[in-house]
Structure 1
Amino acid sequence: MKSVNLQRTESLLMELIPEALSDLADARINSLAITGVNCKNGKYDAQVYFDGSDFDKKEINQIVSLLNKANGRLKSHILASTGWYKCPDFKFVNDTSLEKSRNIEALFAQINKNKSED
């Protein structure tokens, strides 16, 4: 169970990271959808999940690389916006849960179709 403070931090990061990304010049990442933030070790590490469903494997690797390069600018923006003393270290991860839920929905649709044919 996460503390209220940690949940508040994650929520604030969910708002500030897309805002910071939108200030960047690279079109591949400035409109990237952030789907979740999971803080670990207090506020020292955070996994940032993004929706990579529109990209192939090679593009996702490029996006992760670009996000890692922009890490310093993201931290600067967040520190300026929050007044925190320290910003978490970000690790960017492609969120595959959206793709999995689409696959499950397609499976249920197929089951429904098969039942209606019987």
Structure 2
Amino acid sequence: MPKDFPRARRVADAIQQHLAELIRREVKDPRVGVVTITAVEVSNDLSHAKVYLSSWEGAERVREAIAGLERAKGFLRQHLAKRLTTYKVPQLHFFHDTSIERGVALTQLIDRVAAERASDVVRTDEIAERDDGATQRRD
């Protein structure tokens, strides 16, 4: 592993991998369901980890999953302690990652603007054709 790769980043990657497996295989809370861990950020002193979640089922589903994971925090930290090679296991903090929803909304906005521009070009061409026809008839 290169030396310029920060330890916090390595720990964050390990936490993301292990948490994903724990959530999929060990957490029995039905509120958790199918969620995706999109990112984990660990503080430099390794005392706190922000875990960002998303779900294709929407924001309400993520809120339910976060409630279930908050309840399972102790269980998750206990199992992470067995899998991580660190002196301490970070406190886990769960957050809804809205970047996917924002990205979809932005894409839809761009598509709508592109469609409006395309229809404006068609209308402009039609007006230009009518104007050319009217000018030619007068001559």
TM range (shorter): 0.7 to 0.9
Higher relative contact order (CA 8 A, sep 6+): 1
Equivalent residue, structure 2, for 1:40: 43
- Flag the structure with higher helix content: 2
RMSD of the alignment, in Å? 2.0
CA contact (8 A) 1:49 1:95 kept: yes
2:89 counterpart of 1:87: yes
Paired with 1:10 and 1:60, the residues of 2 have a C-alpha distance of: 21
Q: Tell me if the contact between 1:50 and 1:93 (Cα under 8 Å) persists in the aligned partners.
A: yes
Q: Rg: which structure is higher?
A: 2
- 1:67 — aligned with what? 69
* Structure 1: segments with no counterpart, 5+ residues: none
CA distance in 2, matches of 1:24, 1:30: 9
Gaps of 5+ in 2: 121-139
**What's the TM-score, normalizing by structure 2?**
0.73
* Whole-angstrom distance in 2 between the partners of 1:72 and 1:30: 18
- Change in Cα spacing, 1:56 to 1:37, as seen in structure 2 (3 Å) is closer
State the identity %: 22
After TM superposition, list the pairs within 5 Å mapping 1:48-67 onto structure 2: 48-52=51-55, 54-57=57-60, 59-67=61-69
Q: What secondary structure sits across from 2:27 in the alignment?
A: coil
**TM-score where L is the length of structure 1:** 0.85
Q: Where does residue 124 of structure 2 map in the other structure?
A: none
Report the secondary structure of 1:13's partner residue: helix
What is the distance in 1 between the residues matched to 2:68 and 2:77?
Answer: 14
How many residue pairs get aligned? The number is 116
What SS does the corresponding residue of 1:18 show, helix, strand or coil?
Answer: helix
The CA distance in 1 between the partners of 2:99 and 2:119, in whole Å, is: 30
AA of the residue aligned to 1:42: D
Counterpart AA for 1:93:
F
Residues 18 and 30, structure 1, Cα contact 8 Å, conserved in 2: no
